[in-house]
Structure 1
Amino acid sequence: MSSKIYFKQTGGVNLRRGFINVASRLHHRIAPAHAKQFAKKLLLTPVRSKKVIIEPEGLVRQSIETSEGKIMTYRLGSGPTWVLGHGWSGSSSQFFPLMEYIAQAGYTALAFDNPAHGESEGQFGHLPGFVAALDGVLEQQDAIAGIVAHSMGGAMVLESRHLCLESKPVLLVAPVLNYAENLMTTVERSGFSMKLFQEVIDEIAVSYQYELESINPLQRLQLTKARTVIVHDKADKFASFSESELAGELSHVTLIATEGLGHGRILKSEQLRQGFDLLARA
């Protein structure tokens, strides 16, 4: 499903929203089990991009085993390792330009495709699965120098309690810092049955012992004292810039605001490279 379902900020009542509301509620009432499976497929299935991306020279692919199945990793360069995590309906290929920059700076760039994304296994994607996959990748590293995350990947990093991340610098790109609120609000705006949606997230909560209400990336950022740089576009339509402004008031957080780059193009920006330099050369 398109990332717009989860992160788009626009609202408004329209005929399509009304139809979705009636249809999903009726489906749930008539065939609850089937409706739940349909909802999981609709709400938890990311878009796997089929766009052909030219890989950087020297890129090494390796599939690793995790609790979320086989996760595809992409390694470039040598030296201390920076881990890179993408967001919903994204993939590691979005990081290729930054990975080349990191490798040229004397580091190893290690990106991975989240469950049900890119070339990793999995049918469904969700934040608890993202966190488990990240922890699985980190388990196989001796140590890391820092971590980079885009969009929902920012929530993934901040929600992880892995010891490997303790005190390590964090570069957040267009992060979704109000994840739970944003998710609930946007699904509601879509018109989808909130009762049916709640059943889906309750199932995930039980399976992963991970309540949606407990997810609060901004609060996690407030509690951590790791050096953090946020690079975020003021007109981002998918992740709230105002939340990043709040985070920028924290003493250990530096906010680099951009204009005209949106949610995706920012990954190829000079400002992102500057953000990396601030952390890597500190």
Structure 2
Amino acid sequence: MEEIMSQDIYFGTEKKFSFKRSALNAVTRLHHLLIPNHAKKMGRKLLLTPVRTKPKNIEPKGLIKSKLNSSEGELSLYQLGSGPVWLMAHGWSGNSSQFFPLMEYIASQGFTAVAFDHPAHGESGGEHAHLPAFIEGLNAVLDAKENVVGVVAHSMGTAAVLECHHVKLEQVPLLLIAPVLNYTENLFRSIERSGYSIKLFKAIVGDIEDKYQRSIDSFNPYQRLQQRTSQTIIVHDKKDRFSSFDLSKSASDYIEHVTLYPTEKQGHGRVMSSKEAMKAFDDLNT
């Protein structure tokens, strides 16, 4: 039940939550008032536990699986092809199998596609996840891989890539699929929409901020994108219900090095294996 709620809070719609908003708000506020430590423990279980979704696609022939130790636990890596490395980062409650079709295409073009399951996702270790954990996992993979020439990221994985300060990411081109460019705003709006106690949520976030020594208010993927100088292509469906297409269009309109490839009827997930995503990869390598 907790995993389903976690998915719904981050990706639900206002209409979906309207009937339970008041009840959830009252229960979580009272819980936090009476038993604050237990409320935070249950809140972490509810809000920081992604759904471990089953593989979305069949494993491509020649796929190499491996494990990598990180500060966030053991990570599962998936590698296909040979040549310079394109690294791939999935989103919340996703897994690397979502990239398999694109990985096959990348490998066919003379590159190595490397995907990994974020902490508490897919076949990686860990119980809880959040953006700082995503970033630490990404740092570990970047430390382990040489000749990284580009990155593909989806949804919340795009926020992790843009907020990551690893030197290997400074000048590489980015392919951002259905990006979450307003991460903090989107997160708090989702929590408010669900009815969950904002005060309790801030207490949970505060513990994460203390551990990683970074404020949630410091996360601003759109601003990080503005500060980059390498070529970036965004592939985003016009009717995406979970991340803002309008914000992607704004980035394309106002940031010189950013180009938007819009799609239709691909949604938030199918767009990862769309022809536009493959064309974007080709264009970033010409």
TM beyond 0.5? yes
Equivalent in 47, 51, 62 of residue 47 of structure 1: 51
- Equivalent position of 2:27 in the other structure: 23
Q: Measure the CA separation in 2 of the matches of 1:29 and 1:219.
A: 36
* Match status 1:268 vs 2:273: yes
* Match status 1:161 vs 2:165: yes
Q: Measure the CA separation in 1 of the matches of 2:56 and 2:30.
A: 40
Query: In 2, are the aligned partners of 1:158 and 1:220 still within 8 Å (CA)?
Result: yes
Q: Give runs of ≥4 in structure 1 deviating > 6 Å.
A: none
Tell me the secondary structure at the aligned position of residue 181 of structure 1.
helix
- Equivalent position of 1:253 in the other structure: 258
- Equivalent position of 2:84 in the other structure: 80
Displacement of 1:52: 6.8
In the alignment, residue 265 of structure 1 is paired with which amino acid? R
Alignment of 1:182-197 (within 5 A): 182-197=186-201
Alignment of 1:138-149 (within 5 A): 138-149=142-153
Q: Measure the CA separation in 1 of the matches of 2:55 and 2:283.
A: 32
Alignment of 1:102-117 (within 5 A): 102-117=106-121
Tell me the secondary structure at the aligned position of residue 148 of structure 2.
coil
| 1:153–1:198 CA distance, 2 compared to 1 (3 A) | same
What's the CA shift string for 1:209-239, capped at 9, x where partnerless?
1210000000000000110000000110000
Query: In 1, are the aligned partners of 2:65 and 2:78 still within 8 Å (CA)?
Result: yes
Q: Measure the CA separation in 2 of the matches of 1:13 and 1:38.
A: 20
Q: Which runs of 5+ in 2 are unaligned?
A: none
Query: In 2, are the aligned partners of 1:68 and 1:132 still within 8 Å (CA)?
Result: yes
Query: In 1, are the aligned partners of 2:55 and 2:98 still within 8 Å (CA)?
Result: no
Deviates more, 1:176-185 or 1:5-14: 5-14
Aligned length: 281
> RMSD in angstroms over aligned alpha carbons?
1.3
Displacement of 1:3: 3.4
Query: In 2, are the aligned partners of 1:39 and 1:200 still within 8 Å (CA)?
Result: yes
| 1:122–1:34 CA distance, 2 compared to 1 (3 A) | same
Tell me the secondary structure at the aligned position of residue 145 of structure 1.
strand
Displacement of 1:5: 1.6
Tell me the secondary structure at the aligned position of residue 82 of structure 1.
strand
TM-score (norm 2): 0.95
In the alignment, residue 131 of structure 1 is paired with which amino acid? I
- Equivalent position of 2:126 in the other structure: 122
* Match status 1:170 vs 2:170: no
Q: Measure the CA separation in 2 of the matches of 1:262 and 1:12.
A: 18
In the alignment, residue 274 of structure 1 is paired with which amino acid? K
Aligned-residue sequence identity (percent) comes to 52
Tell me the secondary structure at the aligned position of residue 15 of structure 1.
coil
- Equivalent position of 1:277 in the other structure: 282
Q: Measure the CA separation in 2 of the matches of 1:255 and 1:48.
A: 30
What's the CA shift string for 1:85-105, capped at 9, x where partnerless?
000000000000000000000
TM-score (norm 1): 0.97
Equivalent in 172, 180, 184 of residue 180 of structure 1: 184
